[in-house]
Amino acid sequence: MERIKADILVIGAGSGGLSVASGAVQMGASVVLLEDHKMGGDCLNYGCVPSKALIASGKVAYGMGHASVYGIADVAAQVDYAAAKDHVQGVIEQIAPVDSQERFEGLGVRVIREKGRFISETEVQAGDHIITARRVVIATGSSPLVPPILGLDQVPYLTNETLWSLRERPAHLLIIGGGPIGMEMAQAHRRLGSKVTVIEGGRALGKDDPEMTGILLEQLRGEGIEIAEYARAQEVRGTGGAIEVEVDGGAVYRGSHLLIAVGRRVNTDALDLDKAGIKTTKTGVQVDSSLKTTNKRVYAIGDAAGGLQFTHVAGYHAGIVIRSALFGLPAKAATAHIPHVTYTDPELAQVGLTEEQAKQEHGLNVEVVRSHYAHNDRAIAERRTTGLIKVMVVRGRPVGATIIGHQAGELINLWALVLANGLKMKHVANMVAPYPTIGELNKRAAGAYFSPRLFESATVKRIVGIVQRWLP
């Protein structure tokens, strides 16, 4: 049994764990990294990267069949589903070296490809190694949640982890779960030629602004995706190629393949956290605002921390931990400035409070300003006029922004910057945006906030009148 001492021990080589390991070792700390599965974690191998690659394939196929508006003949795309999956794998392989064991060992990280578990408050065992570290970071991520639906254990089904090994295009894909993952995969597969039915127990995309999701769902249904809302799956039966999902009320949906996309569960079962005095909650490891667990030498970040489950949150958490663990400086994680995007077409993006949340929190002090894609010249030129931006403003300061439309995931970056730094609408209004760009929509939203104050104000008009009489 080898005993190892380190400054930082990271358990999990997903995006958050890798960010901590690379940052810490390059700042002079000794780092041990444990990973018993694939380097890069869920995001690289099963989540963000492969899903966006498949979405890109679907977007190209859809564009070929909808080109006539640009003066180009529509062509029925000849989709090779296996080749599309090769494209997905190629994207993963191109990014993988950045997350590889070889790269991190080159940086000076001791990488051990074993599962880690606590054997005391200060020790972690991984295979034939016992590691003692000044600080431990739990970055074990999450896995697909498989709900207790009657018969599901008797029927072949896919998750976001197993979907990528499928080489034959589903004739009719049934998706249980109408959240971001379900909707992204629904549209991608529909555009690649599959029939698709989404079965959702509540409102589809229920955590997002209903006005904006209404625009998105109309587009998805217009592409031929069947979306059954408020239809809770009660029983699954059948065999591969012939699967049935019965929902409450008795309706039955039939398809060839089944994808489960109802959420995620944190990977902590194998850690023996109780031996380290680390408490958990229903959603993950219990942490305070500085991401410390009930064992103050141990942090939890990313999905393991039981909060927002996004890759960029894990990266943000890594910065908090590095500040605290390496420099001993106070650092607290916040959520109000964290954006998220659903990468459908059109995209749906959010940062801060939704309209409903803002009105609940700030009441009559909230002003909601809108900027419509239909008034943007670049959107008109590209025939991308479906969508709008909503910004929730309290006394001149944005508290949230919601965007549905082309490049919403890019446009939300500006509002994330605004919220993160406490900027006001005047700062956005002062920006000069190049013409013609989709990004002008953000400046127009700021203009929509100030326009009534300038153009509909009797006081402003009176001042202008006085000044004009006195000017030579």
Q: Which two tokens stand for residue 437?
A: 């760009």
Q: Is 200 annotated as a binding residue?
A: yes
Three-state secondary structure call for residue 165? helix
In degrees and rounded to multiples of 5, residue 306 shows phi and psi of 80, 15
Q: Is 244 annotated as a binding residue?
A: no
Q: Please, what sign has the CA dihedral across residues 220, 223, 229, 231?
A: negative
Q: Is 352 annotated as a binding residue?
A: no
Distances (CA, A) of 298 to 5, 122, 301: 15, 9, 10
The tally of CA atoms less than 13 A away on the side-chain side of residue 418 is 27
Q: Which two tokens stand for residue 21?
A: 């390991």
Query: Which is nearest to 207 in space by CA: 300, 332, 342, 346?
Result: 342
Q: Is 183 annotated as a binding residue?
A: yes
Q: Is 195 annotated as a binding residue?
A: no
Distances (CA, A) of 442 to 81, 329, 336, 410, 425: 38, 36, 19, 11, 10
Q: Is 179 annotated as a binding residue?
A: yes
Edge-to-edge strands of the sheet including 233-239?
233-239, 242-247, 252-255
Q: Is 405 annotated as a binding residue?
A: no
Q: Is 439 annotated as a binding residue?
A: no
Whether 245 contacts 172, CB under 8 Å: no
**Cα 159 from Cα 86, distance rounded (Å):** 19
Q: Is 224 annotated as a binding residue?
A: no
In degrees and rounded to multiples of 5, residue 199 shows phi and psi of -115, 115
Q: Is 63 annotated as a binding residue?
A: no
In degrees and rounded to multiples of 5, residue 436 shows phi and psi of -100, 125
**Cα 55 from Cα 67, distance rounded (Å):** 18
Angle of helix 210-222 relative to helix 180-191, nearest 10 degrees, comes to 20
Q: Is 142 annotated as a binding residue?
A: yes
Query: Which is nearest to 382 in space by CA: 69, 61, 73?
Result: 69
Q: Is 241 annotated as a binding residue?
A: no
Instruction: Provide the annotated binding site for NAD(+).
Output: 177-184, 200, 263
Instruction: Provide the annotated binding site for FAD.
Output: 52, 116, 140-142, 303
Instruction: Provide the annotated binding site.
Output: 52, 116, 140-142, 177-184, 200, 263, 303
